[in-house]
Homo-oligomer: A and B are copies of this chain.
């Protein structure tokens, strides 16, 4: 058994890519907050989804959306910029329950989409597991 269940909010819109064989992959970081008051702690947990689940995430989720994820931890090897071999971990989603869906696109409502002015940088850094 290798099961992770967690709730949180997306730190950014899901990033959608396609493998060379055409499989859809969605990835995002999830802010998982535990505790109350001044004991609150947030862990940013990287989530990956594949195929139909990835497409659904792309269609239904955006920055700030709240989700319930059921998945497993996966350790993945990759080559760092300096050529060294590293391992990274992430949660591969098996199901995602949408607790809050995508916000309406800016222009569809009277609201300004504050997310479209963001300038934050999300370095493509790999977060080590262990």
Chain A's interface size range is 35 or more
16 sampled A-B residue pairs with Cβ under 8 A: A1-B5, A1-B34, A1-B97, A2-B8, A2-B45, A3-B5, A29-B130, A43-B74, A45-B129, A66-B99, A87-B125, A88-B127, A89-B89, A89-B130, A126-B128, A127-B128
Given pairs A86-B128, A128-B128, 4 additional interface contacts (CB within 8 A)? A1-B97, A2-B32, A126-B130, A128-B129
* Given A68-B68, A89-B89, A99-B99, A73 and B128 contact (CB-CB distance below 8 Å): no
Tell whether A101 is near chain B: CB-to-CB under 8 Å.
no
Minimum CB distance partner of A90 in chain B: B130
* A88 contacts B6, C-beta separation under 8 Å: no
